[in-house]
């Protein structure tokens, strides 16, 4: 029997179990918000220079109906057909995503920065029949399409739904200044033409019919894993998974999420599961205004969004919060209307959390989840029950436990792999029954993350099982070392990995991105020796200009390890040539 000591640590206004789910599928939830907040602005896209465009809830609802009709009655897709969507944060994204769901089709979120090889893998693996793509990256299509089953391509402009004059200016800049618009040489339909065709074809009866038989156990999205520990796999997220996790997240936040009153900054890409569920679905459910930023890099791209809108919520990863705390404009004028922030995707360093609270005067809490869990599994409760440095307690109607290699639950305070059970856990991996069977055992999803649960039921991530470093038989977890190094003045970002070592099996290497006044290698090592056991102290330190990151800013240790192994191999080969 799983221990549930966390039941007594929910905030007073948060029930430990999910309230009755009132929606049979995502389109029902989407339509409910579209009706309840019809005249309210749902999405505002803010460019780095402040140029912007907006859509109301009523407009999003009507336009996504148009796109659903286009997919079913113009293109001729069937219920369950997969539609790949490849675009950054922009006004077209919610229209397309909601339209795919309303059509009874399956959304396949795709990173617009993917290479042709990555696109072919995801499109072929999913069996996508249609693709909606931002026109800036359409030059890859001639190489990609012949290797896939995609028959229909719809192209989107970055300034869709902007006022005509502003959209024209942006188009001119793209075409003649930045030269970021390649010629599109494949057969395609412009997004506005697709909407017009769908509008002419749609009927209320047809819109209802598209969803006949669609329910909680129907696949809504194939959300591909990051591939950070192996080949990227499509997690089958059902309508029930995504609706449940949306309601779990909203319920967990209690009074900090006020219906109709929030304005959330969405800097993380909506095609990533964190922003997709939390920002897109969660805040849409609440009638919030969503400020969409196409790219958060450099951090100055967010300046006008903070200046022009009364941001009450920010979601992000550790690297985003840390980057903002190193921007003079942000420190000089912190957001005055901010009420709360949520971090996920990677460990939130305690030093970053403490400084964020100091600068903004508002709470920031850390949550935890995975692509396979829609994604939120746990969250630190707001208020006095929160525990810094932890990922909090399970969200309502979720069970977590730490298990050993044999699948047995370990005692509180002992490290073990997190196993999860709840309505947000995926149906399985798309067309990968063996991987599904290995990941979901007796109804429990094995996350691959090592954690400890304390006596109060709060979980603390130790690290990824596959990121663990084995130094002379001792387990070393990169998160702990990164946390200590991040405390040093002059450290902007840090990534820690294990590299082969003849004497100890593996040794610890730290990669550091510094500010203008970096610490010395000696200062880094001295600080580590003072705060860590000897076997955890890095054997080598490398200062680099940047660290490899995922689309949401998560540091990719696998690429750091690959670089370390490559450089070590090159060094050995050089030494060999010198000796000969």
pLDDT band at 565 (very low <50, low <70, confident <90, very high): confident
Number of other CB atoms surrounding residue 454 within 10 Å = 14
Cα 152 from Cα 165, distance rounded (Å): 30
In-domain check, residue 335: no
pLDDT at residue 385, rounded to an integer: 86
In-domain check, residue 230: no
Last residue within a domain, chosen from 151, 181, 214: 214
Identify the three-state secondary structure at position 285: helix
pLDDT band at 580 (very low <50, low <70, confident <90, very high): very low
Rg (CA), the chain: 24
Q: At what angle do helices 239-253 and 26-36 cross, to 10 degrees?
A: 50
pLDDT, tens digit (0-9, with 9 covering 90-100), for 142-177: 999 999 999 999 999 999 999 999 999 999 998 888
CB contact at 8 A, 369 and 451 = no
**83 is in which domain, residue-wise?**
27-40+54-214
In-domain check, residue 255: no
pTM of the entire structure? 0.86
pLDDT at residue 384, rounded to an integer: 86
In-domain check, residue 320: no
Higher-confidence residue: 504 or 453?
Answer: 453
pLDDT, tens digit (0-9, with 9 covering 90-100), for 115-144: 888 899 999 999 999 999 999 999 999 999
pLDDT at residue 468, rounded to an integer: 76
Domain count of the chain?
2
pLDDT at residue 441, rounded to an integer: 96
User: Residue 227: pLDDT above 90?
Assistant: no
pLDDT, tens digit (0-9, with 9 covering 90-100), for 466-475: 787 878 766 7
**How much is the average pLDDT of 398-412?**
95
pLDDT at residue 395, rounded to an integer: 97
How do beta strands 106-109 and 491-501 pair? unpaired
DSSP assignment of 209-269 equals HTTTT--TTSEEEEEE---TTSS--EEEEEHHHHHHHHHHHHHHHGGGS-TTT-EEEE-S-
Cα 185 from Cα 138, distance rounded (Å): 8
Q: Residues in the chain, how many?
A: 580
CA 69 centroid distance within chain: 29
**How much is the average pLDDT of 396-422?**
95
In-domain check, residue 209: yes
CA angle 182, 185, 158 (to 5 degrees): 40
Last residue within a domain, chosen from 188, 214, 240: 214
In-domain check, residue 65: yes
pLDDT, tens digit (0-9, with 9 covering 90-100), for 270-292: 999 999 999 999 999 999 999 99
Identify the three-state secondary structure at position 327: coil
Mean pLDDT value across the chain: 92
CB contact at 8 A, 549 and 559 = no
Cα 106 from Cα 71, distance rounded (Å): 11
CA 431 centroid distance within chain: 23
Number of other CB atoms surrounding residue 562 within 10 Å = 13
CATH number at residue 182: 3.40.50.980
CATH number at residue 526: 3.30.300.30
In-domain check, residue 241: no
Spatial CA neighbour of 464 closest among 557, 566, 559: 557
Higher-confidence residue: 535 or 361?
Answer: 361
3-state helix, strand, coil in the chain (%, to 5): 40, 25, 40
**Phi/psi zone of residue 442: left (φ > 0), alpha (ψ -120 to 50 degrees), beta?**
left
DSSP state of 383: S
pLDDT at residue 473, rounded to an integer: 64
Last residue within a domain, chosen from 178, 193, 214: 214
Cα 460 from Cα 463, distance rounded (Å): 9
Which residue stretches of 138-218 are H helix? 141-144, 164-172, 191-201, 204-209
DSSP assignment of 29-74 equals HHHHHHHHTTTSEEEEEE-TTS-EEEEEHHHHHHHHHHHHHIIIII
pLDDT at residue 188, rounded to an integer: 98
Cα 332 from Cα 312, distance rounded (Å): 18
pLDDT at residue 316, rounded to an integer: 93
User: Residue 543: pLDDT above 50?
Assistant: yes
User: Residue 461: pLDDT above 90?
Assistant: no
pLDDT at residue 575, rounded to an integer: 42
pLDDT, tens digit (0-9, with 9 covering 90-100), for 283-336: 999 999 999 999 998 999 999 999 999 999 999 988 899 999 999 999 999 999
pLDDT at residue 478, rounded to an integer: 87
Torsion of the alpha carbons at 226, 228, 232 and 236, rounded to the nearest 10: -50
**φ, ψ for residue 546, nearest 5 deg:** -160, 160
Query: Of all residues in the chain, what percent carry a pLDDT higher than 90?
Result: 77
How do beta strands 440-441 and 444-453 pair? antiparallel
**Phi/psi zone of residue 158: left (φ > 0), alpha (ψ -120 to 50 degrees), beta?**
alpha
Cα 339 from Cα 308, distance rounded (Å): 17
Higher-confidence residue: 303 or 4?
Answer: 303
Higher-confidence residue: 549 or 84?
Answer: 84
Torsion of the alpha carbons at 190, 194, 199 and 203, rounded to the nearest 10: -170
**How much is the average pLDDT of 55-82?**
98
pLDDT at residue 229, rounded to an integer: 46
**φ, ψ for residue 544, nearest 5 deg:** -130, 165
How do beta strands 82-86 and 130-134 pair? parallel
266 strand-pairing partners = 292
CB contact at 8 A, 236 and 429 = yes
pLDDT at residue 228, rounded to an integer: 45
Both ends of the chain: CA-CA distance in Å?
64
Identify the three-state secondary structure at position 477: coil
CA 377 centroid distance within chain: 14
In-domain check, residue 323: no
pLDDT, tens digit (0-9, with 9 covering 90-100), for 105-123: 999 999 898 888 889 999 9
Spatial CA neighbour of 103 closest among 273, 4, 220: 220
């Amino acid at each position: 029997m799983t221990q549930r000591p966390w039941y007594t640590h929910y905030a007073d206004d948060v029930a430990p179990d999910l309230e009755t789910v009132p929606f049979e599928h995502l389109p029902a939830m989407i339509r409910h918000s579209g009706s309840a907040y019809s005249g309210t602005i749902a999405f505002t896209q803010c460019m780095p220079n402040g140029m912007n465009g907006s859509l109301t809830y009523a407009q999003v609802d009507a336009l996504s109906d148009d796109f659903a009709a286009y997919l079913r009655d113009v293109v001729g897709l069937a219920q369950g057909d997969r539609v790949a969507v490849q675009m950054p944060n922009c006004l077209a994204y919610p229209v397309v995503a909601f339209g795919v769901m309303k059509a009874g089709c399956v959304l396949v979120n795709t990173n617009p920065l993917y290479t042709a090889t990555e696109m072919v893998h995801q499109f072929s693996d999913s069996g996508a029949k249609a693709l909606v793509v931002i026109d800036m990256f359409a030059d890859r299509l001639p190489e990609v399409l012949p290797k896939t089953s995609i028959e229909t391509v719809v192209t989107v402009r970055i300034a869709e739904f902007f006022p005509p004059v502003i959209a024209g200016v942006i188009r001119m800049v793209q075409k003649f200044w930045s030269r970021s618009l390649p010629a599109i040489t494949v057969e395609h339909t412009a997004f506005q033409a697709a909407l017009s065709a769908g509008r002419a074809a749609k009927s209320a009866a047809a819109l209802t019919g598209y969803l006949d038989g669609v329910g909680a156990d129907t696949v809504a999205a194939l959300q591909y894993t990051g591939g950070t520990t192996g080949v990227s796999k499509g997690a089958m997220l059902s309508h029930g998974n995504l609706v449940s996790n949306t309601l779990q997240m909203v319920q967990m936040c209690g009074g900090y999420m006020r219906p109709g009153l929030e304005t959330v900054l969405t800097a993380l890409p909506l095609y990533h599961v964190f922003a997709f569920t939390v920002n897109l679905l969660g805040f849409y459910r609440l009638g919030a205004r969503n400020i969409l930023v196409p790219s958060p890099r450099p951090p100055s791209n967010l300046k006008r969004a903070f200046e022009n809108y009364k941001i009450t919520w920010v979601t992000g990863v550790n690297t985003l919060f840390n980057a903002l705390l190193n921007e003079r404009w942000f420190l000089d004028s912190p957001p005055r209307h901010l009420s709360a922030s949520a971090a996920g995707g990677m460990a939130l360093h305690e030093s970053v959390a403490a400084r964020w609270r100091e600068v903004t005067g508002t709470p920031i809490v850390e949550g935890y989840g995975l692509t396979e869990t829609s994604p939120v599994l746990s969250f630190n409760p707001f208020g006095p029950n929160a525990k810094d440095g932890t990922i909090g307690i399970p969200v309502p109607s979720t069970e977590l436990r730490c298990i050993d290699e044999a699948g047995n639950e370990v005692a509180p305070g002992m490290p073990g792999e997190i196993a999860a059970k709840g309505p947000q856990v995926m149906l399985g991996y798309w067309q990968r029954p063996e991987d599904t069977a290995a990941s979901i055992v007796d109804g429990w999803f094995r996350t691959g993350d090592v954690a400890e649960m304390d006596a109060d039921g709060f979980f603390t991530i130790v690290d990824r099982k596959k990121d663990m470093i084995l130094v002379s038989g001792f387990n070393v977890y990169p998160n702990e070392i990164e946390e200590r190094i991040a405390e040093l003045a002059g450290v902007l970002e840090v990534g820690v990995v294990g590299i082969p070592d003849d004497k100890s099996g593996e040794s610890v290497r730290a990669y550091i991105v510094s500010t203008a006044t970096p610490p010395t290698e000696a200062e880094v090592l001295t600080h580590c020796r003072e705060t860590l056991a000897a076997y955890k102290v890095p054997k080598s330190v490398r200062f680099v200009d940047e660290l490899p990151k995922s689309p949401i800013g998560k540091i990719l240790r696998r690429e750091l390890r690959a670089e370390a192994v490559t450089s070590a191999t090159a060094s050995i080969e050089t030494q060999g040539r010198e000796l000969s």
